[in-house]
Amino acid sequence: MTASGIDYAIYFYNPNIHPVREYEIRKQENIRYAEKHGIEFIDADYDVDNWFDRVKGMENEPERGIRCTECFDMRFERTALYAHEHGFDTITSSLGISRWKDMDQINGCGDRAAARYADLHYWTYNWRKGGGSQRMLEISKDEEFYMQEYCGCVYSLRDTNRWRRAKGRDRIEIGVKFYSWDAKHEFLQKETVSKQS
């Protein structure tokens, strides 16, 4: 969108992300990108208790299951409300870039949320097509982004770590994987300084 000259804002509403350290890292990466490219960044509430209430009873549902639908619905509903109240006519999401996600599930949630408001449209663009996945990797390397190794929620973290253990791999370490060594080194230096302060 940035390269195409589309005027947009980043609405960051992710109460699903756990633990809070992972949430803060992901949020700061979004802020860094927004500031670098002059994009409006809207920091929504981290109402994690509301998220846990909403997915209660779905703790053992699989990835792409009903828990994910509930999570997407919650986040799209808040996004659509903000968009409606602040004069945006279109919403979309970067969720679909991940090959681990179900595009129909994501688009269904986005369409439902936008349909609540006559002045709002959900853009169902397939970010994976036309080299989109490769472009995501290129941008991630160019921007030296933090590498997200699981969807974000506590249950995704749990299940990803179970899968890793079954495959003889190490557990996920929060805040250590980046798309470049330089970015990782710079991040770790900042963390050391903030811990000393």
Q: What is the mean pLDDT of the chain?
A: 90
Chain center to CA of 23: 9
Confidence of residue 74 (pLDDT cuts 50, 70, 90): very high
Q: What is the pLDDT of residue 188?
A: 53
Please tell me the pTM assigned to this model.
0.87
Tokens of 171: 């557990």
> Does residue 139 surpass a pLDDT of 70?
yes
* Residue range 110-132: mean pLDDT, rounded: 92
pLDDT of residue 196: 57
**What pLDDT is recorded for position 3?**
78
How large is the average pLDDT for residues 14-22? 97
End-to-end CA gap in the chain: 38
The kind and range of the H/E element at 30 are helix 20-37
Omega into 15 within 30° of 0, i.e. cis? no
More confidently predicted of 118 and 176? 118
Express as a percent the part of the chain with pLDDT over 70: 91
Q: How confident is the model at residue 135 (pLDDT cuts 50, 70, 90)?
A: confident
- Alpha-carbon distance of 76 to 109, in angstroms, equals 7
Domain boundaries of the chain, sorted by first residue: 9-196
